[in-house]
Amino acid sequence: MLKTIPPVGLSNFMQERLQKILAKAGIASRRKAEELIRAGRVRVDGKVVTEMGIRVDPDAQEIECDGIPVAAQEKKIYILLHKPAGFLSTVHDPQGRPIATDLLQSIKERVYPVGRLDLDTEGALLLTNDGELSQKILHPSNEVNRTYVAKVKGKPSLKKLAALSTGIELEGRKTWPAEVEVLHSEARETTIRIVIHEGRKRQIRKMFEAVGHPVLKLKRIAYGQLELGDLASGKYRFLGPGDIKMIFRK
């Protein structure tokens, strides 16, 4: 196990906790970074580190995660991708299935999805190497809205729509209130706009399944007030400071 002795002098102030450095570099959130360290996937100066709280100098020491050097001052980039259905929201799949980052061939920086979209769900997916922003968006206390358009089987009653709006029991825990609006309705299927700020796995699909109207097609169209707009499927655009602010607007 690697241990460091803080050097005397100014360089001591350049040291940071290893998990914080990984988060800043966009490798993972601090919690996930701790898991990477415990799993022995992080090396400092060629030695595996599994100790929590270790402090290193990213400018003077070589840090690697899964054998890939971690850039201490990597340029932060922010991308909005229109993820097509059939692509995984991950950076690696052992089964070799298509992944979202396959669509970013011209991007040199190593970016990661902010949260996930199901394999069969399309729409807005944020990718960045800014770990701190990713944590801010995903943390429940910030209540960042996600807006979806769901095409569901059948025609939900007003009572069922009201239940979705006020919250329903899912896996022993009630969902937070949601905004629900019927956009189009036919005998066999209904198109509904729904806004939530939770990030449970397959939550929208599970909510409609619970009221007896399974999802036929699902698309995320916005984070906060940052809308997907007319961005074509499989395409992406870079985000600026103004776009980032839109994410946190209700």
Would you call 118 a catalytic residue per the annotation?
yes
pLDDT along the chain (250 residues), means of 10: 39 70 79 89 91 84 85 78 95 89 87 91 95 87 95 97 96 95 96 94 96 98 96 97 93
Contact 56, 160 (CB under 8 A): no
Q: How many residues does the chain have?
A: 250
Question: What's 26's domain CATH number?
Answer: 3.10.290.10
Active-site choice (66, 118, 230, 243): 118
For residues 21 and 131, state if they share a domain: no
For residues 216 and 150, state if they share a domain: yes
Q: What is the DSSP string of 104-152?
A: -TT--S--EESS---TT-EEEEEEES-HHHHHHHH-GGG---EEEEEEE
The model's pTM is 0.73
The pLDDT, as a whole number, for residue 16 is: 84
The tokens for 43 are: 């090396």
By residue range, what is the domain housing residue 160? 145-222
Question: What's 205's domain CATH number?
Answer: 3.30.70.1560
CA nearest 214: which of 204, 222, 224, 223? 204
The pLDDT, as a whole number, for residue 29 is: 79
Task: Report yes or no on 156 lying in a domain.
Answer: yes
Number of domains making up the chain: 3
The tokens for 230 are: 């007319």
Strands annotated E in the chain: 16-17, 42-44, 47-48, 55-56, 63-65, 68-69, 78-83, 112-113, 122-128, 146-153, 169-170, 173-174, 179-185, 189-196, 215-223, 226-227, 236-238
